[in-house]
Chains A and B, each alone.
Chain A
Amino acid sequence: MKKLSLIPVLVVGALLIYAADDFPEWGSPTAPASASPLSSHFISNTGVDTEVPNMVTAVLADYRGFDTMFETVVVFIAGMAVLAILKNSSGPNSKKKNFHIETEPDIIVTNTVRLLIPVIQIFAFYVLAHGHVSPGGGFQGGVVMGASFIMIALSWDLEKALARFPMDRCFIVAGLGIVLYGGIGLLSMFLGGEFLDYAELANILPVSREMARYHAMLGVEIGVGLTVTAIMFALYANLATEGRLKGGL
């Protein structure tokens, strides 16, 4: 029965290969996606409008800031949904054993991790803040920061990580990130512009209009980073322990 599934797969494949014939040459600058006026506008005007050298961050946080806000909300909703599905869940097949760790946390691992974690967190802040000039930004920095908490949970045990970042605080931080993002947008609206029109912030900050966009982008990226950090750690903690927050990997 499952062998029958090869037929629609091969049909789809044949259709796609037939369509691949129409594509432009690999890497030609006259391809329709590259020759569109929008990309040319982004490439040529990013430096003038926002003074941010990284075009991808500028488009992500400024020109397409609305998309990024809702993407952050999607991440937040996924974390909440995982909590809702797994909290207080237990069936006949859940692992109810108390995970007494028979072996102590390894001395080499714990000492190495103890030296590494501050460096990793500083690197996460660097990636977040330097995302204007180098590859990076809010998402990448937030994920590295969340990974540092997961590393604490993996080398010692989950209780030690939860002592530093409890689950309710996770969701407060995640909500704070979205409030920060929307708050900057609303602030621009109160100052007379449109929602997420960062140039209006020049009315309260002593900088030019372009630099106002620069700084507002930083604030927005910090909001995104907060949400992503909290949700990545919450995702790991809930999945490793089936919502019980005891025991785990």
Chain B
Amino acid sequence: MGLELFNTLILLLLVVAALIALRVKDLLTASVVFAVYSFLMCLLWAEMGAVDVAFTEATVGAGISTVVMIATIFNLKRKSSD
């Protein structure tokens, strides 16, 4: 019962994070919220028993993907119109 509750809570937080990442007008905020989304995915997979996938997502998704995106936004405009 507790595990299912955890599962459902994390899934709802995922949906909220995805919506926020697409709605904010500041690209830096969107990148950071996207890192939060990746980290919540990693937690979900660790709970499901997919530890290798969780490890990979933690390093690649919340690590490299965020850093590379912020390095690109550094050279672009930080404000987006929608």
Tell whether A140 pairs with B74 under 8 Å between CB atoms, given A147-B64, A235-B68.
Answer: no
Cβ of A196 to closest chain B Cβ, rounded Å:
21
Chain B interface category by residue count: 10 to 19
Interface residues of B in 20-61 (CB under 8 A from A): 51-52, 54-56, 59-60
Give every chain B residue within 8 A of A136 (Cβ-Cβ): 52, 55
**CA A248 to CA B55, docked complex, whole Å:** 29
Which of A137, A139, A236, A242 has a CB less than 8 Å from the CB of B68?
Answer: A236
B32: min CB distance to chain A, Å? 15
Q: Is the CB of A143 within 8 A of B74?
A: no
Q: Which residues of B contact A236 (CB under 8 A)?
A: 64, 67-68, 71
Residues of B with C-beta under 8 A to A216: none
- A147 to B63, Cβ gap below 8 A? yes
For the complex, give the distance between the alpha carbons of A95 and B52 in Å. Answer: 40
Q: Give the size of the chain A interface in residues (CB under 8 angstroms).
A: 23
B64-A240 in contact (CB<8A):
no
Report if A143-B64 is in contact (Cβ < 8 Å); known contacts: A56-B52, A135-B51, A135-B52.
yes
**CA distance in complex: A160, B52 (Å):** 33
Cβ of A60 to closest chain B Cβ, rounded Å: 8
> Contact at A137–B64, with CB atoms within 8 Å?
no
A249 interfacial contact with B, CB 8 Å: yes
> Does A224 touch B at the CB level, under 8 Å?
no
- Report the separation of the CA atoms of residues A232 and B61 in the bound assembly, to the nearest whole angstrom: 12
With A143-B59, A240-B74 given, name 20 new contacts (CB 8 A).
A56-B52, A57-B52, A94-B75, A135-B52, A136-B55, A139-B56, A139-B60, A143-B56, A143-B63, A143-B64, A144-B59, A150-B67, A235-B64, A236-B64, A236-B71, A239-B68, A239-B72, A240-B71, A242-B75, A249-B74
